[in-house]
Amino acid sequence: MLYLHMRLIMKKNILTALVLSALMVSAGASAATRQLNVWEDIKKSAGIKDAVAAFEKQYDVKVNMQEMPFAQQLEKLRLDGPAGIGPDVLVIPNDQLGGAVVQGLLTPLTLDKKQTDAFTPSSVAAFRMDNAQYGVPKAVETLVLIYNKDLVEKPFDSLQAWYDFSKAQRAKDQYGLLAKFDQIYYSWGAIGPMGGYIFGKNDKGGFNPLDVGLNKPGAVEAVTFLKKFYADGVFPAGIIGDNGLNAIDSLFTEKKAAAVINGPWAFQPYEAAGINYGVAPLPTLPDGKPMSSFLGVKGYVVSTWSKDKALAQQFIEFINQPQYVKTRYIATREIPPLVALMDDPVIKGDQKASAVAVQAARASAMPGIPEMGEVWAPANAALELSVTGKQEPKTALDNAVKQITMQIEAMQASNQ
């Protein structure tokens, strides 16, 4: 009897142990599914620390955060994703989007109109491809006008006024406005609003890479106008070509130039050089339209290999609520393209941030398709030939469009 009783107790204990073990495994599995791996940009995780803590608490999730340079994250994802050790959420620049989508590295997001309307249209468009939204914009940067307050009291409103001022400055052996108009990255600000385009649209709302519009009448008119700065000697000869930006920086930091067109990356070096500078959106064109610019956007995206894509998207939406975006801006000083924050005193009261925010709303995202890589060299060569008077702008731009189209056709044929 005692033996039987002992057997019953042992069986009961074993059963209890098995049930407990199963519960523990189940709980462990449950905990494992409620984890998110997030890759944040280098030295930027402090900006989302509070949002992450609130998300973990509200959704009972463990967020594992790792920092790495945002431009290298996709490259690492290619290896880590298939190996099962990659992130659920990562940060990428918009010009890497096209290649990432073609290679199947990212998952489309499901965002409603209210969610996308919270951001400036150009920043949202930067992460859209063929009518699918792949990312939520985090931060923007774009060209602005930077001027020396000791040399010019306030910035002129129009590019023509800057030209007139620059011409007058040459009589004093000084320079007015300097810019790298011999490169498409800088001259796009006039070419786009005046009627040129890089790629036309296809019937899916994406780009048609075989429709290149850099030689349209408006583009020729824009380049002809920009050429005046070179032809009339208001720009020094040394700002042509790859070393031109160094020459511009030197003249500005030596207080020999009153203003430059450059990006937020120049703020710190100009400050270090002791320049008392101000920042403004880019001036208006001859037709009264404001200059545009290329928009660089960093955005949060979801990996194809994420085991919980819905939770990953929920995380992105959560950390991009206005109160957390404001905290992120204060910590990182990266300009968020969130409409609700553009009029907030924290940005509006900061001249530099406000100018970048205003210009970013006027800017257009660089086409994020792989064919964009074929545009830079021929476009820059055509602009250099045009502004230096070696070729007429129409001839140079016609030749560039032919070359870009040929290169893209060859690229597409090799990918088939």
**Lookup result for tokens 């204990």:** 13
- 13: confidence class by pLDDT, cuts 50, 70, 90: low
Residues in the chain: 416
Report how far apart, in Å, the C-alpha atoms of 266 and of each of 78, 87, 255 are.
Answer: 32, 32, 15
**Residue 96 near residue 133 (C-beta atoms within 8 A):** no
Q: What is the DSSP string of 327-349?
A: HHHHHH-PBP-BHHHHTSHHHHT
32-52 per-position pLDDT tens digit: 458 999 999 999 999 999 999
Q: What average pLDDT does the segment 300-314 reach?
A: 97
Residue 1 scores a pLDDT above 50: no
Pick the CATH number of 142-294+368-415 from 2.60.120.10, 3.40.605.10, 3.40.190.10, 3.90.580.10: 3.40.190.10
C-alpha count within 13 angstroms, C-beta hemisphere, residue 47: 21
* CA-based torsion, 156, 158, 162, 165: positive or negative: negative
CA neighbor of 100 nearest in space, from 90, 113, 110: 90
pLDDT value at residue 202: 86
- 174, exposed or middle or buried, with CB in 10 Å at 0-12, 13-18, 19+? middle
pLDDT value at residue 345: 93
Architecture of domain 34-141+296-365: 3-Layer(aba) Sandwich (3.40)
Q: How many CB atoms lie within 10 A of CB 304?
A: 16
- 242: confidence class by pLDDT, cuts 50, 70, 90: confident
Residue 393 scores a pLDDT above 60: yes
pLDDT value at residue 241: 86
Q: Lowest mean pLDDT of 52-56, 190-194, 409-413, name the range.
A: 409-413
206-240 per-position pLDDT tens digit: 889 999 999 999 999 999 999 999 999 999 988 99
pTM of the predicted structure, to 2 decimals: 0.83
Q: What is the DSSP string of 274-311?
A: T--EEEE---B-TTSPBP--EEEEEEEEEETT-S-HHH
Identical fold for domains 34-141+296-365 and 142-294+368-415, yes or no, is yes
Which sequence spans correspond to the domains of the chain?
34-141+296-365, 142-294+368-415
390 or 26, which is more confident: 390
Report how far apart, in Å, the C-alpha atoms of 397 and of each of 25, 65, 183, 231, 393 are.
Answer: 66, 47, 13, 18, 6
Longest dimension (CA), the chain: 117
pLDDT value at residue 33: 54
127-185 per-position pLDDT tens digit: 998 789 999 999 999 999 999 999 999 999 999 999 999 999 999 999 999 999 999 99
Q: Lowest mean pLDDT of 240-244, 246-250, 326-330, name the range.
A: 240-244
Q: Lowest mean pLDDT of 39-48, 234-243, 254-263, 286-295, name the range.
A: 234-243
Long-range residue pairs from 54-58, CB within 8 A, at least 24 positions apart, any chain? 54/318, 54/324, 55/315, 55/318, 55/319, 58/318
Gap between the Cα atoms of 332 and 47, Å rounded? 6
